[in-house]
Amino acid sequence: MNVPQDRKSDYEPKIVPEIEEWQKRPLSAVYPIVYIDAIVFNVRSEGIIRKHAAYVILGVSEEGHKEVLSITVGDNESAKFWLSVLNELKNRGVRDIFVLCADGLSGISEAISAAFPMTEYQRCIVHMVRNTLKYVADKDRKNFANDLKTIYHAPDEETAHRNMLTVSEKWDKKYPGAMARWEANWNVISLMFKFSETVRKVIYTANAIESLNSGYRRLNRGRSVFPDSRALLKALYLATHDLTEKWTNVIRDWGKVYAELSVMYPGRFS
């Protein structure tokens, strides 16, 4: 949906009903894997420029296709907020999610338990790595990143946990607390080790949502401040349409992934 620059002012009012229809469209009953991510934009609110997050929910269908389920713009995170977002998915037809991958969004774990009690929560490894390396000097970043790989590339949970302790011991004196999140959140990091490497890669790489985010970040480069949250939502909707138009392929090795998930979550595919 590429709109010519000289026609955007005429076109934008007409897009509002289309966005509302898209936000309310019926969804499939089952999404085996769902990702939630946030991107921050500058938005003018009551004359003040504030940081607003756009929360993007991306689902993988039973057929292995990627689909953006929802985009919500807000400046607040809480269990109540996330419960309303997840309940909206339920109201649109979603009845089951096997694994939900997200960063440590405030209140997300409690909301998942309330809305989808059978859903398992997996902390996003991409964000864990990124947040850890924020504490690390440039000269050490490559070595530290390689050490982190020994955790999430480990063959099993026991080895991964042992490697995590080794990495913590190696770097803790130089970067105190850098590994604290890994230790504190191990119960929601280690979930992926119950799966084969094929399924794990689908869960921890999050390539689909990362490619979306790179497209969304271009909006920040083209416009430093959005006049309001409605303008941001319009821009995100148009960008989503453009970015997902070419999504025709299924997730790599989806046949193997489907077979394994069928065994791990018996009777839950529709």
For residue 111, what are its two tokens? 């909301």
pLDDT at 76: 67
Quick one: pLDDT at residue 218? 83
Are 268 and 99 in contact by the 8 Å Cβ rule? The answer is: no
Residue 5 has a pLDDT of 44
Q: Which amino acid is at 132?
A: T
Residue 214, amino acid? S
How many CB atoms sit inside 10 A of residue 249's CB?
10
When pLDDT is cut at 50, 70 and 90, the band that residue 12 belongs to is low
pTM of the shown model? 0.90
Domains of the chain plus CATH, in order, are 1-123+206-245 (3.30.420), 125-205 (no CATH)
In this predicted structure, the answer to whether residue 105 has a pLDDT above a threshold of 70 is: yes
Q: Give all strands (DSSP E) within the chain, no chain letters.
A: 30-45, 48-60, 66-74, 96-102, 120-123
Type of residue at 216: Y
138-157 per-position pLDDT tens digit: 999 999 999 999 999 999 99
pLDDT at 77: 73
- Per-residue pLDDT reduced to its tens digit, 211-229: 788 888 888 776 678 998 8
Amino acid at 174: K
pLDDT (tens digit, 9 = 90+) per residue, 35-72?
999 888 999 888 899 888 999 999 999 999 999 999 99
pLDDT band at 9 (very low <50, low <70, confident <90, very high): very low
Neighbours of 221 (CB within 10 A): 7
Residue among 8, 54, 22, 13 nearest 217 (CA): 54
